[in-house]
Each structure stands twice: as C-alpha cells, then as structure tokens.
Amino acid sequence: MLSNKPGTALYYLVKEQILELIRNGTYEVGSQLPTESDLCTFFDVSRTTIRLALQQLELEGQIHKIQGKGTFVSEVKINEQITQNIKSFSEQMKDAGLNPYSKVLNLDVTPATILLENSLNIQQDDPVIKLERLRYAGDKPYQHSTSFIPWKIAPGLLNEDCSHSLFELLQSKFNIRILKSIESIEPILPDKTICDMLNIPEKTASFLLKSHTYSTNNIPVEYSVTIVRGDSAKFLTERHFKE
C-alpha cells in the first residue's frame, strides 16, 4: 500500500496516504475513520506508526477525535489572510467561496468604561454605541463580534441596518473614511454562552481578535472584540525577505 521512499519516516507516508484518501473523497468530511486496528491491517504497519500519523493529521486540523465515538474527518478550515489592506468580513468570506451574513443581536447606547475611554479617546461615561453581531459563513455561525463606536461620530447608527459591513455604512452614511486598523490575535477558550452561540462544544480552542480602527487624522472610530471558532478558521500571512 505504501510506496517506500528512502529517508522518509513511515508514519509520514501513512499520514500522506490517509490525507490523499480524504482529498479524493474516500473518507468524506464528517465521516468516521477506521479504527487504529483496522488502519494497522490496511497499511501493514504498527499501532505506534498509525498513532503518530493520526496525531500529525489532528495537529494539522484534518481530523478530530470525539470522546467515546472515534476519529472523524474535519471540515476544511477557512483561510483568513492577514494583509496590510483592510478587508471586510463579507469580502473575506466571499474570497473563501462562502456566502456571508450577520445577525444583529444587540444595538444600543451604553456609557463608556475605562477601557473604552482609553480605546476610543473619549471621556468615561460618554455615550457609546454597542453593536453585537453573530456572523455566519454559509449556514454556520463563525464569529461573535462586539463593536463599540463613539455616539458622537455616528449618532444615527441606531436607525440603520447594521447586518452588513459596518465600515461601508460609516463611510456611506456618516462620511467617515477608514484609515487603518490595528489588530491582535490571541488564543481563547470561550465561555458557555459564546460556545452555544457558535454551536461549538465548551472548551473549544478559538481565536480572540481585538481591533482598534481609525479614520483620517487618526481619530478612533471603533473598538471591537471578536471571537472566531478555532475549529473552522486558520490565519495565513505572506512575508518577504529584504534583499
């Protein structure tokens, strides 16, 4: 079953062969893989080799284990490009071949906290618009996002449809031109409420994105906190060496 390549570890050959079986549809997304014992027989290798191959596939996000049930083929993760150009959620999802939409969970005015005072360069207790959205990639909940916008820069936002691109809305309705966004990405274990919204098991490793967005003249226009389900996303960046 395995082609012998001198100098290549046996578990790697097994891993690549299983990956090829996933790619050609022999093992479909969501389907259960054969047991370790059956894979040992199929590939004529030891259980240790099979376990190493499966561990590598799990680390790469190709498969996942469900306690008491077995090992299953994972969905292909969405590639989110980290670039110097700002792209809206809709643009990123369309680039991935998915149909995006957002559900507004909450849209109201709240007093600024100390965190928002520093993030938005306003005074504590100043009115801030809080926009909470659940964002979908296709038919699957993918992100939970909460944005905070100073009320004084977009006082009519409460009367607008905020289920689409916030940046496009700020520009078209309030003449706010987005200059830049400073973002950070950290690992997080979301709480039960967020896990339920994203339809993921508790303690699913996910991504926490914090973003500070500025208009021309470096005026803060938005601070956002977004949780992206880690079983569906991966972030890619391209870097070049200086000659």
pLDDT for the residue numbered 77 = 73
- How far is the C-alpha of 3 from the C-alpha of 93, rounded, in Å? 38
Between the alpha carbon of residue 152 and those of residues 126, 160, 173, the distances in Å are 9, 15, 14
pLDDT for the residue numbered 99 = 81
Q: Where are the beta strands (DSSP E) in the chain?
A: 63-66, 70-73, 78-82, 100-111, 127-137, 140-150, 178-188, 206-215, 219-228, 233-237
Q: Return the bridge partners of 32, or none.
A: 72
In percent, the amount of the chain with pLDDT more than 70 equals 92
Q: Give Cβ neighbours of residue 84 (< 8 Å, ≥ 6 apart).
A: none
CB of 108 within 8 A of CB of 130? Answer: yes
- How far is the C-alpha of 9 from the C-alpha of 18, rounded, in Å? 15
User: What's the residue count for the chain?
Assistant: 243
Pairing of strands 219-228, 206-215: antiparallel
CB of 150 within 8 A of CB of 91? Answer: no
How much is the average pLDDT of 123-134? 97
CB of 222 within 8 A of CB of 211? Answer: yes
Q: Is the pLDDT of residue 199 over 70?
A: yes
Q: Is the pLDDT of residue 222 over 90?
A: yes
- How far is the C-alpha of 42 from the C-alpha of 136, rounded, in Å? 39
pLDDT for the residue numbered 3 = 60
Q: Is the pLDDT of residue 40 over 90?
A: yes
Q: Is the pLDDT of residue 38 over 90?
A: yes
How much is the average pLDDT of 190-197? 95
Residue found under tokens 């012998």 = 4
pLDDT, one tens digit per residue, over 134-184 is: 999 888 899 999 999 999 999 999 999 999 889 999 999 999 999 999 999
pLDDT, one tens digit per residue, over 56-82 is: 888 777 888 888 889 998 877 776 766
Tally of CB atoms within 10 A around 122 = 19
Output the six-digit token pair for 241.
């060496």
How much is the average pLDDT of 44-53? 93
pLDDT for the residue numbered 1 = 56
pLDDT for the residue numbered 92 = 74
How much is the average pLDDT of 196-215? 92
pLDDT, one tens digit per residue, over 79-99 is: 676 666 677 777 777 776 778
pTM: 0.72
Mean pLDDT of the chain: 88
Q: How many helices (H) and strands (E) does the chain have?
A: 7, 10
- Burial call 90-112: b when 16+ CB within 10 Å, e when fewer: bebbeebebebbbeeeebeeeeb
- Out of 7-11, 109-113, 116-120, 154-158, least confident range: 7-11
pLDDT for the residue numbered 30 = 85
